[in-house]
Amino acid sequence: MTTQSDLLESSLQAVILHGEAFVTAFYERLFTRYPQTRAFFAATDMFEQRKKLQRSLSLIVEHLRSPDELADMLKELGERHVDYGVGPEHYPIVGAVLLETFADFLGSHWTQAHHDAWTKGYEAVSSLMLQGAQQQQ
């Protein structure tokens, strides 16, 4: 039986094969659909940011089986996002764009099970990041 972790790992590995194209498409979609999010990256080297996003996704999936370590990492990430002006209302926007980008890149290999696994996973990630953000305020 395929687990949620298996679905997350396999789909992430599939998009990583596309290299930087996946994270580039994610940010293009985010900025096109939600231009207000550009402000979070005003002083950011986007080449480096794309590499950070790809590393972050990989780290999250790699640490699924180490929930305590992952929780601490995500809370710290949430704390840092407060400094960039990211609020709770931005997390659903990013999640929706991330799922759409996965769906585009995986095409017919993107199933309802993948969608459900990433939705559940993203909700867990967001929850932990928001806990960290609340500690920062």
pLDDT digits (tens, 9 = 90+) for 38-65: 999 988 999 999 999 999 998 888 887 7
Is 55 within 8 Å of 23 (Cβ atoms)? no
pLDDT digits (tens, 9 = 90+) for 50-109: 999 999 998 888 887 787 888 999 999 999 999 888 999 999 999 999 999 999 999 999
What's the chain's length in residues?
A: 137
Look up residue 106 and give its two tokens. 């995986």
pTM as predicted = 0.90
User: Judging by beta carbons within 10 Å of its beta carbon (0-12, 13-18, 19+), is residue 57 exposed, middle or buried?
Assistant: buried
Q: Whose CA is closest to 29, among 81, 109, 93, 86?
A: 93
User: 61-77 b/e with 16+ CB inside 10 Å = b?
Assistant: bebbeeeeebbebbbeb
Q: Whose CA is closest to 101, among 4, 3, 9, 11?
A: 11
Q: Tell me phi and psi for residue 114, to 5 degrees.
A: -65, -45
